[in-house]
Structure 1
Amino acid sequence: MNKDSETRYGTVTRLFHWGMAFLIGWQLLKVFDRIDDGEHWVGQTLVPWHVSIGSLLLLLVLLRIGWAMNQKHNRPAQDPAVAFLVKAGHGLLYAAMLLMPVTGILTMLGNGYGWKVFGIQLAAKGDEIPWMASLGSLHSPIAWTLLVLIVGHIGMALLHHFARKDDVLQRML
């Protein structure tokens, strides 16, 4: 079942969801880079991939948005009483997932570092561009906002599963 249905999310949607969840979790490990100047396993092993994984996430979120728009009429039905809140919450998650890599790229370019993805130089090192660096400075606050949204998303999924005992979580598993 590749496409979504009224009762369950399809394979493609679930691959986007869980694959991106894994990669975003990896990205959030960047916070450990601030401990002991990154002189530990996480800082030396996972953090160096931060820009490349973030760039991959930008591509994936764009593809995911396109897929979601294509599947919007096939999605599982929402409880009408909370449909607005569900759409608003997901909209904020998508916005944060899109803004994170964009502000990260603005940080790299704005500070003159260039932009290198999986060993491929996409933009050369150059002069600092203050307006880009300024917008890029939103990267960290957006990361904390995304973390709060993720915790809320997980919390609501668990609430549905354990308290409401409905099939909301099962749709994505």
Structure 2
Amino acid sequence: MALIDAKDRYGLLSRFFHWSMALLILWQFTGVLARVLAEDTALEKFFWSTHKPLGVVLLVLALLRLGWALVNLSRRPPELNLAATLGHIGLYALLVAIPALGLLRQYGSGRSFDAFGVALFSGFEGRIDWMVEPGNLLHGNLGWILLAAVIGHVFMVFWHRRGNKEQDVLPRMWG
């Protein structure tokens, strides 16, 4: 299997980005649901403690994935239609914007932040409202929109798989 993309299927690196991000997104939403439905439990503490560090990992993977997609743009399988193109652009935008807003909010709060023992920024006295407020307003709301978009993405994969065998897109990403 080739590392780079081809017209009929995605390469190993594109599939690695896709499926590793899918697992991390599933983990993140499991943690969010635990926070909403089982607050102050061991389950919530376990998942929620990983939310911010894994958000950083997702941001890095999203940026790498976006760069890799642009490098492979002329080689990768074509989109089925304009709706698919816009849907994928929307997913990429959300996958960058949500963790970026979380980091912006964290920095603006004045609290230090480290991910997996690596200090990303140190804390300071005070708060920078113009950094905190966009994150407060958008981070969670865009997260729920991402969940809906991911569910729609999965639904459309199976829709094409069952409805029109000529547009079965799953093998292109499955392997």
TM-score range, shorter chain: over 0.9
Shift of the alpha carbon at 1:154?
0.3
**Is 1:145 the equivalent of 2:170?**
no
Contact 1:51–1:116 (8 Å) recurs in 2: no
Shift of the alpha carbon at 1:164?
1.5
Which whole-Å CA distance do the structure 2 matches of 1:111 and 1:78 have between them? 41
Partner of 1:85: 83
Partner of 2:109: 111
Which whole-Å CA distance do the structure 2 matches of 1:131 and 1:105 have between them? 13
Partner of 1:63: 64
Partner of 1:75: 76
Partner of 1:40: 42
Which whole-Å CA distance do the structure 2 matches of 1:78 and 1:59 have between them? 24
For the aligned residues, what is the CA RMSD? Answer: 1.3
Provide TM-score, normalisation by structure 2.
Answer: 0.91
Shift of the alpha carbon at 1:110?
2.1
Q: Which amino acid aligns with 1:98?
A: V
Partner of 2:163: 163
Which whole-Å CA distance do the structure 1 matches of 2:14 and 2:120 have between them? 29
Contact 1:32–1:38 (8 Å) recurs in 2: no
Partner of 1:135: 134
Unaligned stretches of 5+ residues in structure 2: none
Provide TM-score, normalisation by structure 1.
Answer: 0.92
Shift of the alpha carbon at 1:114?
2.2
Aligned length: 169
Contact 2:79–2:85 (8 Å) recurs in 1: no
